[in-house]
Structure 1
């Protein structure tokens, strides 16, 4: 490949990365639905450059979802410290609190846009399924024999439960995690 073409390719990759970073930074500051113009200005590129790399805002949101998935994979991939299955389930509370807090701005932004995006809708469903699979993998009988308790734990360890405690109920990170730990512990102690 000619050096000139190689330079164009590298510039294109840099622009794409700057656009995604700009989108994430805008959302992190609280703007849940930034326009392409805002993203272009923040990335210091032209509006045409944004749409050269992303055919529409949906494709930019899909790239943002990849960043969210990377954040979650880092947390999920960490080995559990506990040997006992009940303690591992309690560990999930703290892991998810950490992960959910990191991805909350991006998750809220994608939720605001999800009704217009088949990709984001599927991505949300995939996240719910993946989180459920992690939980179910750690559970043991007799708890697994009680579908109501499994469903209650799945709800308690969901992003939606975390979001409600933090946003609507206004709890601190520590207080929200404490509420979830107490509720999860009660269900585990009944098993």
Structure 2
């Protein structure tokens, strides 16, 4: 009677180790780890990995939940000021930390987006969360065009371009973003 529960627990433990291994590999820069590498990192058999890899979207879901927990702590922290312009400046710092933290996962998800409805949905969900956070800061009379411009300049895509393609340091990328924000907000 206890054997099925033991097998289920072992299966859950193996799955957790696979998810942890995938997170570690992606964080280390392997944006699409192969099953053999995941198996070695998780210390499970290759067949075990393949059994769990059949349902990739649920694995992505578990990976996303683990990343979300860390991200939530960054974005839900109260601001140190009540002035919207200062909050906007603080938001630049927060997004810099957030985007640096999630960069390997975003790069991996970009490669897999076409193969996973879950990943595509997660990217839309994250964009909506970031838009809502921005909406809570800026004055209601800011105007749609200004809001959209701020949302764009504060996006992961702009951050990634500044960091990867333009090879700016974190501090230099923040300076560029703040300069554009100043042009939008006056």
TM-score, structure 2 as length reference: 0.90
> How many residues in Structure 1 have an aligned counterpart in Structure 2?
186
After superposition, residues 64-143 of structure 1 pair within 5 angstroms as: 64-143=63-142
| 1:149 counterpart = 2:140 | no
SS in 1 for 2:115: coil
Deviation of the 1:87 alpha carbon: 1.1
* Cα distance in structure 2, aligned partners of 1:91 and 1:174: 13
Moved more, 111-120 or 67-76: 67-76
* Cα distance in structure 1, aligned partners of 2:140 and 2:15: 49
| 1:183 counterpart = 2:158 | no
SS in 2 for 1:133: helix
Match for residue 36 of structure 1?
Answer: 35
Spell out, residue by residue over 1:163-188, the C-alpha distance to the aligned partner (whole angstroms, 9 max, x if none): 11111111111111111122112322
Deviation of the 1:9 alpha carbon: 4.7
Deviation of the 1:6 alpha carbon: 5.8
* Cα distance in structure 2, aligned partners of 1:110 and 1:52: 21
* Cα distance in structure 1, aligned partners of 2:140 and 2:13: 51
Deviation of the 1:94 alpha carbon: 0.5
Deviation of the 1:67 alpha carbon: 2.1
Deviation of the 1:55 alpha carbon: 2.9
Spell out, residue by residue over 1:47-105, the C-alpha distance to the aligned partner (whole angstroms, 9 max, x if none): 22224445333332232222222222111111111110111111111001001100100
Match for residue 56 of structure 1?
Answer: 55
Deviation of the 1:42 alpha carbon: 1.3
Deviation of the 1:151 alpha carbon: 0.6
* Cα distance in structure 2, aligned partners of 1:57 and 1:6: 24
TM-score, structure 1 as length reference: 0.88
SS in 2 for 1:142: helix
Moved more, 34-43 or 127-136: 34-43
Q: Is the 8 A contact 1:36 1:57 kept in 2?
A: no
